């Protein structure tokens, strides 16, 4: 963009590196703590290099049933993301590309539902789930997550579908494809980058959700964020820094690998949303 003096350039690069380090530090610190013994954590000055231990990952994980909870989180995140993608992408397509009365109103309503605070939904969800005997089950949490994922998918995919040339499905339909055929055979394959990045956002959002899970689960279906909130509440006793950091690392690691692997899609999805919206 703006070309500047060599000094200004160096300062900007230095600033960028500094900002990145500052923002990364808490994550690095968490990784460090997760491999330390309590005696090396609770000490002043901090010990940067100390004896390595895997205790935080092994003994505590068993006791707090971290792995089953990880599996719960994966099931809930994948389930809610898939349902939301199907429903949201179809709705987003209808709202951008199809003739219908009331499309503007429908789009407005679905987008406005993005602003509904989850706290306005949790009381009935809890009461109804309790009455139907559906608390602590995957399906309840999955359906709860759909409330914030579907509007989100509609929103992102609308921007994406709008950027596709109209001739695509017109050609398909002149060749005798139905709307459904055109959508699933032509539009969906052409929208893969958008669908992938949107799906990843959905998984990340579901992966880290706390409020619904806190209220709708208590034992079998407990997700990792709920477990972490429990451990964090215990930190007052002082002892659980290591385990908290270890669980934190395990939650962040898959998402970071995932996000970096598909970084190109991820950033492109956002860029398109921002500029072509």
* Contacting another protein within 68-127 (CB under 8 A): 83, 86-88, 90-91, 93-101, 103-104, 106-108, 110-127
Q: What is the DSSP letter of 166?
A: T
Identified binder of another protein from the candidate list 2, 6, 52, 165, rule CB under 8 A: 2
Cα separation values, 170 from 71, 161, 190, Å? 43, 14, 14
Q: How far is the CB of 220 from another protein (least distance, A)?
A: 19
Kindly state the helix (H) or strand (E) to which residue 1 belongs, with its residue range: none
Would you count residue 186 as binding another protein (CB under 8 A)?
A: no
Would you count residue 231 as binding another protein (CB under 8 A)?
A: yes
Q: How far is the CB of 28 from another protein (least distance, A)?
A: 10
Q: How far is the CB of 63 from another protein (least distance, A)?
A: 18
Is 239 within 8 Å of 224 (Cβ atoms)?
Answer: no
Q: Which range touches another protein (CB under 8 A), out of 2-10, 50-58, 60-68?
A: 2-10
Q: How far is the CB of 57 from another protein (least distance, A)?
A: 15
Q: Is 218 left (phi over 0), alpha (psi -120 to 50) or beta?
A: alpha
Identified binder of another protein from the candidate list 35, 57, 201, 265, rule CB under 8 A: 201
* Lookup result for tokens 């013994």: 37
Q: How far is CA 157 from the centre of its chain?
A: 16
Would you count residue 275 as binding another protein (CB under 8 A)?
A: yes
* Residue with Cβ nearer another protein (64 or 255): 255
What are the start-end ranges of the H helices in the chain?
Answer: 6-34, 38-41, 55-63, 66-97, 103-112, 119-131, 138-162, 167-174, 179-181, 188-190, 192-207, 211-216, 224-234, 241-261, 263-276
Q: What is the DSSP letter of 36?
A: S
How does 111-129 read in b/e, with b if 16+ C-beta sit within 10 Å? eeeeeeebeebbeebbeeb
* Residue with Cβ nearer another protein (55 or 163): 163
* Residue with Cβ nearer another protein (67 or 233): 233
Would you count residue 248 as binding another protein (CB under 8 A)?
A: yes
Interacting positions 15-44 with another protein (CB under 8 A): 15-17, 19-20, 23-24, 26-27, 29-30, 33, 41-44
Identified binder of another protein from the candidate list 47, 147, 190, 196, rule CB under 8 A: 147
Q: How far is the CB of 51 from another protein (least distance, A)?
A: 17
Is 40 within 8 Å of 50 (Cβ atoms)?
Answer: yes
Q: How far is the CB of 54 from another protein (least distance, A)?
A: 19
Would you count residue 67 as binding another protein (CB under 8 A)?
A: no
Closest CA to 229 of 54, 64, 24, 118: 64
Alpha-carbon torsion (30, 36, 42, 44), positive or negative: negative
């Amino acid at each position: 963009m703006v070309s500047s003096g060599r000094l200004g350039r160096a300062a900007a690069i230095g600033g960028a590196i500094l900002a990145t380090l500052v923002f990364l530090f808490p994550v690095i610190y968490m990784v460090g703590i997760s491999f330390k013994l309590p005696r090396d954590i609770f000490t002043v000055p901090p010990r940067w290099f100390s004896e390595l231990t895997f205790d935080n990952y092994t003994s505590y994980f068993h006791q707090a049933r971290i792995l089953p909870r990880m599996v719960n989180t994966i099931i809930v995140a994948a389930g809610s993301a898939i349902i939301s993608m199907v429903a949201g992408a179809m709705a987003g397509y209808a709202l951008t590309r199809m003739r219908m009365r009331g499309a503007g109103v429908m789009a407005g309503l679905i987008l406005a539902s993005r602003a509904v605070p989850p706290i306005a939904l949790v009381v009935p969800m809890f009461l109804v789930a309790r009455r139907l005997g559906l608390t602590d089950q995957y399906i309840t949490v999955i359906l709860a997550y759909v409330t914030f994922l579907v509007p989100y998918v509609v929103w992102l995919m609308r921007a994406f579908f709008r950027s596709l040339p109209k001739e695509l499905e017109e050609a398909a339909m002149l060749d005798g494809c139905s709307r459904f055929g055109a959508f699933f055979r032509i539009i969906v394959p052409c929208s893969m980058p958008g669908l992938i990045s949107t799906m990843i956002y959905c998984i990340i959002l579901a992966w880290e959700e706390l409020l619904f899970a806190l209220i709708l689960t208590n034992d079998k279906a407990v997700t990792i964020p709920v477990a972490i909130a429990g451990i964090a509440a215990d930190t007052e006793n002082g002892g659980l820094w290591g385990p908290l950091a270890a669980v934190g690392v395990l939650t962040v690691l898959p998402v970071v690998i995932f996000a970096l692997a598909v970084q190109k899609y991820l950033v492109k999805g956002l860029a398109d949303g921002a500029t072509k919206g």
